[in-house]
């Protein structure tokens, strides 16, 4: 049985199977980068995240974020030196200014769409540390703040480059507070999927993209032009994001018939999340328009539903989304049919 992740432990964006693949197929430098990243990630899982940073003031009024960006200056320290605070002008450092911008975009999405005031719904300050470590190939939310590596420059760009990476990780904080889904097996894959679902919606909301025109890629822009791939995951077509000599082939399934039984990656949480990811994509595109107007509220209601147990499997979550669609839109609404059919199409419901 894979070990579970306790509340407050880091959940990195980079799937461990990708780093493990680099250890066996990358050049000497890439292997060192992957090994150092895995080591740093393991150390963070043993730390108490609440002690990771002395917290500055939270936001005072709903709708107004409180953002604080720090630099670790290539060291493995947190939070580092503060280099930009809420309302400060751009610094000219791409990582600093991207982190500030994307933290704000994520805050605005949750506030404007769900009237949620930050991660904890109480104006929690959003902290981000950039330039963490040397060639660090990951980004994560550790329960207290965001941490971003600069990437190795050969396979991965800086981890502030993609809005959905930031939104994905911040959403882990929302999930932790609302559902506390155990980070293992199907509940862990749901945890990862929900982070992808809301990460994709944040990106679409920021760029004003309808479901039909969005790319539904997670981590688009993160891969360098040396990699044969478009992103780390595809919600529309799981398993198609990359196929590269070093990274291997995207292992995500899009249907329960291809569900991966594995003891690694906490029971395949970054792999089997492709199944509920595709279900959301199908529901959102079937309904059309903006994903956050119909399918999004259903998934948000399901995340906050008291019937969602910490160890919920895919089928339990699917049934809850159908009931939430009925409660929000009415039993005869096309939203209900779209949600139910999406889960049928991926083999979770019959």
Identify the structural domains of the chain with CATH numbers, from first to last: 11-178 (3.10.170.10), 185-345 (1.10.390.10)
Q: How many residues does the chain have?
A: 350
pLDDT number for residue 60: 81
pLDDT number for residue 28: 97
- 20-30 pLDDT tens trace: 999 999 999 99
User: Structure pTM?
Assistant: 0.94
Q: Is the preceding omega at residue 30 within 30 degrees of 0, hence cis?
A: no
- 263-297 pLDDT tens trace: 999 999 999 999 999 999 999 999 999 999 999 99
Task: Let me know if 270 is a catalytic residue.
Answer: yes
Q: Phi first, then psi: give them for residue 68, nearest 5 degrees.
A: -135, 120
DSSP notation for 96-153: HHHHHHHHHHHHHHHHHHH---STTSS---EEEEES-TTT---EEE-SS-EEE----S
**DSSP class of 249:** E
Which residue among the candidates 86, 169, 176, 192 is catalytic per the annotation? 169
Instruction: Give pLDDT < 50 ranges for the chain.
Output: 1-10, 48-53
> Which residues are CB-contacts of 268 (< 8 A; sequence separation ≥ 6)?
185, 189, 260, 261, 262
Which residue among the candidates 168, 172, 205, 270 is catalytic per the annotation? 270
**DSSP class of 242:** B
* Ramachandran sector of residue 328 (left: φ over 0; alpha: ψ -120 to 50; beta: rest): alpha
Token couple for 113: 């769409």
Is residue 276 classed as helix, strand or coil in its secondary structure?
helix
Burial 259-285 (b: 16+ CB within 10 A, else e): bbebeebbbbbbbbbbbbbbbbbbbbb
Average per-residue pLDDT in the chain? 93
């Amino acid at each position: 049985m894979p070990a579970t992740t306790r509340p407050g432990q880091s959940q990195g964006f980079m799937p461990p199977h990708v780093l493990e693949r680099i250890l066996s197929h990358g050049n000497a430098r890439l292997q060192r980068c992957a090994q150092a990243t895995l080591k740093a990630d393991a150390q963070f899982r043993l730390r108490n995240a609440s002690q990771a940073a002395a917290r500055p003031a939270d936001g005072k009024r709903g709708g107004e974020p409180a953002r604080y960006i720090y630099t670790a200056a290539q060291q493995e320290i947190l939070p580092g030196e503060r280099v930009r605070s809420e309302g400060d002008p751009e610094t000219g450092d791409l990582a600093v200014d991207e982190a500030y911008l994307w933290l704000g975009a994520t805050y605005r999405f949750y506030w404007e769409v769900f009237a949620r005031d930050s991660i904890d719904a109480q104006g929690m300050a959003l902290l981000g540390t950039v330039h963490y470590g040397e060639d660090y190939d990951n980004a994560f939310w550790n329960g207290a703040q965001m941490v971003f590596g600069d990437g190795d420059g050969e396979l991965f760009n800086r981890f502030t480059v993609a809005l959905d990476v930031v939104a994905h990780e911040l959403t882990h904080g929302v999930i932790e507070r609302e559902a506390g889904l155990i980070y293992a097996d199907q509940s862990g894959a749901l945890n990862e999927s929900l982070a992808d679902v809301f990460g994709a919606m944040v990106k679409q909301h920021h760029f004003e993209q309808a479901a039909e025109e969005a790319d539904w890629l997670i981590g688009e822009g993160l891969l360098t032009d040396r990699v044969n791939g478009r992103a780390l995951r595809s919600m529309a077509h799981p398993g198609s994001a990359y196929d590269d000599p070093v990274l291997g082939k995207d292992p995500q399934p899009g249907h329960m018939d291809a569900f991966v039984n594995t003891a690694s990656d906490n029971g395949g949480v970054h792999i089997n999340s492709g199944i509920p990811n595709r279900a959301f994509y199908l529901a959102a595109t079937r309904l059309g328009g903006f994903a956050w107007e119909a399918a999004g509220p259903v998934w948000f209601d399901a995340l906050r539903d008291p019937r969602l147990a910490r160890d919920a499997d895919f089928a339990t979550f699917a049934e809850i989304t159908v009931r939430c669609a009925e409660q929000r839109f009415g039993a005869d609404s096309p939203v209900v049919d779209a949600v139910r059919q999406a889960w049928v199409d991926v083999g979770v419901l019959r």
